[in-house]
Amino acid sequence: MGDTQGNNNADSMDGQVDERMTAVLGDITTLDVDAIVNAANSSLLGGGGVDGAIHRAAGPELLAECRAIGGCPTGEARVTRGYRLPARLVIHTVGPVWRGGRKGEDEALANCYRNSLALAAQHGAHTVAFPAISTGVYGFPLERATAIAVRETRAYLRDHPEIERVMFACFGAHAHNVYQAELGRVARQDV
Ligand code: ADP
């Protein structure tokens, strides 16, 4: 009975963590959260994909603030204001370019999630939205990236109740399906 009780407690705590992560279908720039994460390049001077969409939606003041920061290494994160976005903050993180999987890509991507969440928390964010970092132009396989995104976020949320909710903004039905499957899979795990 003691063991059963213990497992139930662990399950309900994990359940709380899992309920704080959701996959949402659509454009990250529209989300009403405290902080959105940008999959930036190391110059922080804007680019295509989600980076371009965030800069267009935020307005030119975002580029000016990014220019003053002067760049960001792969795996690290930097914060700016959100300007015309609903989000108060933009966390710019630089994902790894996929080079076959043996060049530290997994660890660099994990660092993006950890460092982004830590920076968001440090700036008082309670709600954070992520795009699928590195899975566009940078070529990281989506399933593998999703497993890392969910694992790292889940680990962070367990230790940091101040981050109440994380949304994974999925740009397309396929990404949404992949994220939902992974979130379902981890929610069913015992550990
Ligand atoms: P990276 O260079 O890190 O691969 P990309 O912007 O090319 O960055 O792609 C990262 C992910 O963001 C891709 O899965 C892409 O489909 C997605 N994406 C592109 N535009 C948006 C958007 N407006 N909102 C959310 N996700 C987006």
Inter-CA distances, 140 with 56, 104, 160, 179, Å: 24, 12, 28, 15
What pLDDT was estimated at residue 8? 47
pLDDT, residue 14, reads: 66
- Domain definitions of the chain by residue range: 17-189
What CA–CA distances, in Å, run from 118 to 10, 101, 126, 135, 138? 24, 25, 11, 22, 23
According to the model, what pLDDT value does residue 138 have? 98
Question: Over the stretch 68-78, which tens digit does the pLDDT of each residue have?
Answer: 999 999 999 99
* Cβ of 94 below 6 Å from ligand 1: no
The secondary structure element, H or E, covering residue 187 is helix 173-188
Residue nearest to atom 20 of ligand 1 (CA): 50
Which parts of the chain have pLDDT scores under 70? 1-15, 190-191
pTM: 0.94
Q: Given this model, what pLDDT does residue 4 score?
A: 42
Q: From ligand 1's centre to the CA of 43, what distance in Å?
A: 17
Task: Kindly report, residue by residue over 44-74, the tens digit of the pLDDT.
Answer: 999 999 999 999 999 999 999 999 999 999 9
* Averaged pLDDT of the chain: 94
28 ligand 1 Cβ < 6 A: yes
Give the pLDDT score at 60. Answer: 98
Pocket test of ligand 1: the residue of 50, 90, 179 to mutate, having most ligand atoms within 8 Å of its CB, is 50
Whether residue 105 has its Cβ less than 6 Å from ligand 1: no
Specify the CATH number of the domain 17-189: 3.40.220.10
